[in-house]
Every structure is written in structure tokens, then in C-alpha cells.
Amino acid sequence: MSAADARVTDVAYSTYDGPRAGRIAAIWSLARWSSLRALGARRGWKAKVIPITLILLGFAPALVVLGLRALFGPTVFKGGLADALPYSNYTATIGIVILVFSVVVTPELVCPDRRDRTLSLYFSTAISRGDYVVGKVLAALMPILLVTLAPPLILYAGNVLFAIHPLAYVERHWADIPRIIGAGLLIGVFYALVGLAISSLTSRRAFAVGGYLAFLAIPTVVGGVLAHALNENYLRLLAFAAVPIQAARGLYPDYSDRGHLSAGLWAATSVEIMVVAIVVLAVRYGRDTG
């Protein structure tokens, strides 16, 4: 038979008769699998070591304090567990861990899609550009909450467990629960948005990591030097790495700042930076991208 005589007698295509979960399920699926990949799922063990190590370091202060309390009883800390590791200072204590973790996670969420030119494949499905951005923000937020929200909650649960009168402890410190949740979400959303915005500017993961570190470190150093040289405390607001942590500390009644800057100023600066990050994401994914 010659090529001219060839003809198609049947096709292997068939309609999809399975369940259709809808748009929200598509966003959730994108977020879930993206976050798992950022943590090293379905990749080699080397891709898992750094995220897991950083998560363990985030839990370390809480586990150490609770471990000492379990071994030596209530007298191990003279001022009590609250004075040993206040909830308001927890994220500041592990601030470097949070920063490095966000630097590791966020570039992995968007840079490979640009490098491999798979964005057009996403947008050819039911996922819109807005859905893609929302899914990636959720994908960044979920892992980051493992170091901003989960450790203080574990510390709170341990404090309740080891308290002489657990119910009395909850009655006195119930307001700390919404403060812990609010602080963890504020810091998590900040680092997720900023990390994704900077990572969206390049397809190279190394460039994204370097740009992210430069964005957080350079203004922090410059602001600190100028604030000291000019005796102008408002320049400390350039410490972008510390902005969300200071804003989160303002949720607690024991907030104090050596530079006499109000918690409202730190919170306003956090919101402004997050708005800029949202604008960057809207511009980058609001047009045709390869």
C-alpha cells in the first residue's frame, strides 16, 4: 500500500467521563504539588536535606525549652516558661532560619516553569493566570508556615501540657493563640509574596536566590548604617528582612522597640512591600509569558 492510499479508520481519543472538581480544586492541586516539590518530594535526597534541616532548626528552640521543662520540672526557669522563650520573640529568634527557608522554597516554585517554558501549558488548561498566581502563593505559604506558625503553636501546646494548672494557663493566655496565628500568617505571607515576586523576574534559580538575598540584606545594612550615622530612626524601616518580624511583634502587649518606632509603622511598611510584590506578580503574569 502506498502512502497515497493510506487513510485513518479509527482514532484513540475519547471524552472524559470522570468527576470534574472545578476551579478551586485545580488551584489547590497546583498549590499542593508545587509546595511538595519545593520541599523535595519526588526528587533526590539532596533536594530534601536543606528544607528538612531548616524546619527542624525552626522547631529547635521550642523543643529545647520544653525538653528542659520535662527533664527538670517547673524550677528550671526562674521566671517561668513564658520568660524563657516569649511567644513575641520566637520568630525573631529563628529569623535567619525563616529567611533562608523562604530563599530556598520560593525560587523553586516559579523559576522551573519559566526555564522549561511550561507556563503556556498551564494557561492552555482551565487554570487562568490569576489562578496560577494564587496557587503559587498558597504553595509558598504552606511550607513557610512550617517555620513561622507551627513552632510557636507547639511551644504553646507544650506550655499548656507542662503547666501546673493547664486550664488556668489557657484562661490567662488564651489571647496568645490569635496573636501567634496572626504573627505567623503575617510573616509567612510577606516572605511568600516577596520571594515569588523576585523569583518571577528570572528563569534562573541562582539569580532569584541572589536577588532575593540582595533585596533583603542590602537595604538592611544601608538603613542601619545611615540610621546610626544620621541619628534618624525612620531609616531603620529599610531593614526589609526585619520588617515583618517587627510588625508581628507589635501584636503582643509586651512590644518594645529600641528605636522608638511604633508597631504601626512596621506594619504599614510590611503592607506597602507586599502591595509592591503583588503588583510585580500581576505585571509578570498578566501578559503573555513563555
> pLDDT at position 159, please?
86
Nearest residue to 157 (alpha-carbon basis) of 78, 59, 245, 76: 59
Strand ranges for 68-129 from DSSP E: none
Residue 67's CB is within 10 A of a number of other CB atoms, namely 11
Q: Which three cell numbers stand for residue 69?
A: 521543662
CA–CA dist 161, 66 (Å, integer): 10
> pLDDT at position 102, please?
92
Q: Which residues of the chain have pLDDT under 70?
A: 1-18, 73-83, 257-259, 287-290
Triad 37, 38, 40: Cα angle to 5° = 65
Residue the block writes with cell 507586599: 274
Q: Which three cell numbers stand for residue 270?
A: 510590611
Does this model's pTM top 0.95? My answer is no
284 contacts 226 by C-beta, under 8 angstroms: no
CA–CA dist 238, 219 (Å, integer): 5
Residue 278's CB is within 10 A of a number of other CB atoms, namely 15
